[in-house]
Structure 1
């Protein structure tokens, strides 16, 4: 083949470029301004498209399918591939390379053969060349661009007939299907490039990703001759637009660079939002036409009619007849900067992108003479989550944002603006009352485009802010959220629960909002290593008092970085449940707790298997005069008696402020561990007031040291949970003996599923009515003592000395026979507020009496009878009493 002819053909720019259409491919290749976009092959990580081509074409022969949206660089990449071959740089194993553009070939209605296709559409090809091609197909590379323009399926299994003769005339789709099948020119390499299409689903494809951040930086440096100007431009784009998917398109990057250059040359500020960018684009394009205000308005109104039609019909192009109906007869030349010829015979016209279409819909909405009821219907139905028409309309409703356009087009319609603002305010306020965060973020995006701080404060009311949650937030949504929250000046709670993609880039973007948040919720999230420094920095410089990182898989290394923020911040509550922390993290945490600036008072480290060694490290901080920790939860942390001794020493040091200690589900510290705690409770310097030993497999032997502790005048323990342990009758009776001590501070006691008996219930009843007990909450569920056993408690509740507010007798074998005593107790009690009766054997027969007593006792907050033998027949009357949970 004559490679010089191929180079001349490809490198000769044809047609004119448009600000919206991107720079001509031939000019990019000719001036060596090409930057290879990224792609993914099947599920692999992004790679350079050049590398993907080289790798694929060196392997066994199979079709390469390149799929990417318009403007993503497919055509430029293919033309450069052919140029590099023609220059002898790559792919020299091929003696012939053919590039076909189906957008042009599709206009051919008559059948054609592969031979005639090569001869007619490659002027540098001779009959002698085609003869060699058909003799040695393994040396041939066929490149087909714009394959999505093909009219019929290319799947060989769908085609009714296939061709094997290069001189046989067939349809274009049959020709391609035959090549893909191998019946025609078997052994030739094939590249197919298409926009998003279903016609190539039968082939595995390479997805064109376009430019990521690094490629955009290279593009800007190539576009601007001055490196400092290039850096300023790319930094601004990444900040204001880089989070949008369409910023990956080389065409869009070229448009942005062109606008930025014109603004910089004029000494003007760069746009801060997408809406402002498209205002500048429209102003620039109208400026190139040098029309009067009336002509500008007429042109934009006509384009708006077309855009609105396409928007409502959900397509990008219109026929010439439709164009004439919109009034384009005298405006085709002026409109050419906005449109491109489209279709088989250039008989259709389309906007260069969905974005310019959406923008013209918004502009025309506010111009006189254009009625856009259908557009408002689309907005009211909440359909435009995937487009930008609503965002552009929200922006142009603001005087500052539309001022430039009104100078060129005349004033916008005030009634249309008022109608939109009324809808927007009502719709957004209603949406923010709901719980769908995707809808919240959509309206935040509209507010971001409007850039009106007072509007944000008017719409996002204090009540609305409390329900906002943004788990699953991505980088594209982040700027809108950040803008809205910054407008509110202060954030009570930044709820990012279950954010599975907290990357360094996302955390960096959110950092300014984190510094404003009093509470940060990141439970069940996945933080990258690069995200943690931004979180630590936000803690150091921010207002955060509460941070939840539970179930985040943080690990020792990332936690060490986080501790750089914990050492000097105002954090008061930190939850690190199930964060894969070890002894090393406990040592780092101890240093933070003992720092002079530490404010941490509530720490949850449950479900981290750091064991005794980890807790012993923490105890070093508890003995520090700077440590302010008052509540510590180490549930299920593999603790044993040795760490209890260290903790006991810490809490009697005179420095410890610890008051609440949760040891739930630690199964190994046994009697010796409890004995160590009990000795500490008797010390005059011990401040412990609440201990949970829930589900620790403890025997009844622990009750004697507990009794001794509770009998001590120095014991301050007011809450004790011993539920789900094997205390038995003897141990429980010892506890009751201690609880009768005058002055015993115990107010909340948990004894659920502790193998209690009727004598224990009798003793508990005596305790409650003794006049010395301070108990306000008692849990004794999961004991089959029946009506007779629980009657001791009903009698006690009715006694004037009883101070109980909460009583839990779940699954104690209660029947309808107890209801008379139960109701009498509730009526007589001056203090009871909550009664838990679930999982018993009450039936419909008891319901009327229970409803009556609840109606008579307005001080009762809740009566729970769930999972009893209550039928649906009484649900209706139960519904009338909202304080009965059934």
Structure 2
């Protein structure tokens, strides 16, 4: 007797999970309607008769057709196969029943980690079971079962992400090759802190700035710990924004984070991680709900219900904010809170980031610095920065990369001797480029002059890459020099046009606009495997990029030069004037750029204008377009621009440009003064504006440690302070004592230091005249939550009650860093000291040394101080109250503090 499933006649699930030795007498898939209802996801092959299990002969029909000995064997085989099938199905049904029992609230470890084939079997049977339960009007039971099988979906997602992220393409691997990420991953230097403020310098300048910071200053953080609150931080972290220049390791950090999650090494409290790179989100044009978007990009979790995204801990990783081509209009986009409501991708993202949509989710966003301010800072709970390789890691890289230890030592020594090259090695990709070039040249594989500038390094790199491709391509043909040249020119055009648009990644339409046939991309990436690449594994389309932004900038400059030499039709109008005029226009263009976009391009173009570098490119450049006169005329024009008192950032880049032209005359002029070893090295010297700029450049690029800067070493004057602000910004400890600094100097100093407030730890302004107004300006720096100032010395700075009030107010808003304060020989009076006493009572105050020598403090002020120290006795160790008028009645209680076992005060001067 057959038992069929009918509407409105629900059966208990136990009836579906009978003992394995009982016969299954019904067709679980049979529908009441005459049409078949077998579940098929990808074809209509199931549109025949429904499969039935019965207690009779499972192969009765077959046995009618097959007579003889073979039919008996076939019957036995089918019986055996279906017996095993029946066993497996009933086993899985029973596991579903266990999941629905109160005694089994979650999947066991065995259920959680099964092989992929088992997962696929379970998934298919689950769909059938859920369909039947819902036909039985057991919707709640079906939903519960679906929820409790969350680990199945989680494991499917883990498996795919592990397959995708466990390998990484190395720079020197052959086209399509990859290496296990865990084998080659080197821990990057990631720091906590910073802000979302935009930095308008070129990223190479930012790398130069970072390179001068001592390692002990910032708080390093492990990649897997970015969502863990810092000690003393109570608020949970929902959104993390990680900054870093191009090629510094942001995407690799994301890849390692995801891989460690898939392998069960870290962040196991997170149920689902959904990588949503901007380069892929750019391709989505239609409106989707958040659930549909995730189902579209991560099909493994499409069985999750909308409510599941709130019940489970979910993380979204948005890699490459700077690559977005979406508006992200946080002010005007409509509000959205329903994960099932369709909207454009940018509306989904802005509501996710603002916490309107799925507020329980964790968000990790990565970006180059220039785009970081696209996210409102109030939407970010934690800022981090990827700093790339520190100095020991650079050496470690070269020793791993180069097999010959002696050669590795010589290369490291040479790289260290060139400040500009060594600084660039903070970027892992540049380490790879340098190793590739120097190993060939210094290892005598190539007879060439060792590169001294960035342009020479990149020129050799390009030459070596095209030489590597003289081997057979596609097993049939060699790439001819003409083909290689055509390829470089086409890629250069793409690099230039996309650099103008500010794009680092390109889509098929971008390639078409630059005249590159998308069908022939394999030829381009075949000629230049180490330069141009196609990203594979994306769901929605093809994405292309150069290996690093600097390579794109170099090829763009090379395209400009090649186009000029051949009067290329694409840029013909530009090339009616001489080469020197072209170079001057590019200098002006770089100076007019607000974000430094053309700075490195200009350095490359000027370097390529030299005849020596054009000789290296003779295979690509059919005729040289340079002369010593052109170089001298261009250098003179750059020096003229330096004399125009440009911003320090612009001047510094122009000095790099002079270096590319082999002109170091301005640097040599100021080296004469720096060679003096005494203080006041510039005393009696009147420097021109260009010489001041040269001095800044030399100091910033010297081997001398800039950890501590003392202004009087050069000239104790406010003019010297204003001229050397870029050097002061790069210093951690600043000594400006006895330098005649007024409110004007304080205003400029405060503005400069606020651009990077977390860098400064000590400031000495003793014996200057900032006055109350100057101290108010400095107070704006001190109240910045990112300010980490430990020591502040303001002896004899003409500070009265008003200035003291502003200073104490700033310190109360950010009290946890300052450990030493000297206000001696000022006039805060009793009212100012009372405010200071309120600061000392704050349990967050960490002040250890307080000097108030000769501060017009009377009995009332002293009483307030002693009371504050008693209420918070755990930090202050030294107090100087000499040359005040505390009165005898306050002296005894003061000394009594020294006897208090809870008080840390060790030194009291009255």
Please give the TM-score of this superposition, normalised by the length of structure 1.
0.48
Pick 1 or 2: higher relative contact order, CA cutoff 8 A, min separation 6.
Answer: 2
Give the number of the structure whose alpha-carbon radius of gyration is greater: 1
State the TM-score, normalizing by the size of structure 2.
0.47
